[in-house]
């Protein structure tokens, strides 16, 4: 198991498709802040709570990309049911592994709940490695406001 990225490290490049098939790459966000949010699974209580908090506090946040190992059809249903206005990216585990948040137990794999606030130069400025779903959005909004001045 790789260790999670730390603050001050360069964010590893990625190229992932969202539930609609659109490609999102780290380099597409060069020059702006980005919140990369890894979550274990669509439709679970903690993940639903966390992503709905992000949805409700979106105005105070940078662009947000949410990543899990779920397939596109599951992401589409989850986003529609909870009116999530940001992309849900489909990872095969490679990106989660490079960010140090891929977990395994026997044949099962999932992403650890973690988020990375990446600055316009591609450097991780905040690593949220054990966020509480109900207050994670507020913490990110406060840090983003302070760091982006």
Give strand pairing partners of 90.
17, 68
Q: Which residues are catalytic?
A: 47
Provide the token pair at 46: 């903690």
Residues 6+ apart with CB under 8 A from 115: 35, 36, 37, 38, 126, 127, 128, 131, 136, 140
């Amino acid at each position: 198991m790789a260790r999670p990225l730390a603050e001050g490290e360069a964010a590893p490049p990625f190229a992932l498709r969202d539930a609609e098939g659109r490609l999102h790459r780290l380099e597409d966000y060069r020059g702006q802040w980005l919140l990369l949010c890894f979550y274990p699974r669509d439709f679970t209580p903690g993940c639903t709570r966390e992503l709905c908090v992000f949805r409700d506090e979106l105005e105070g946040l940078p662009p947000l990309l949410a990543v899990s190992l779920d397939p596109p059809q599951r992401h589409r249903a989850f986003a529609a049911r909870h009116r999530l206005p940001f992309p849900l990216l489909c990872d095969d585990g490679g990106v989660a592994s490079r960010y140090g948040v891929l977990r395994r137990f026997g044949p099962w794999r999932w992403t650890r709940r973690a988020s990375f606030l990446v600055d316009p130069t591609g450097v991780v400025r905040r690593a949220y490695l054990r966020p509480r779903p109900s207050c994670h959005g507020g913490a990110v909004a406060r840090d983003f406001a302070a760091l982006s001045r």
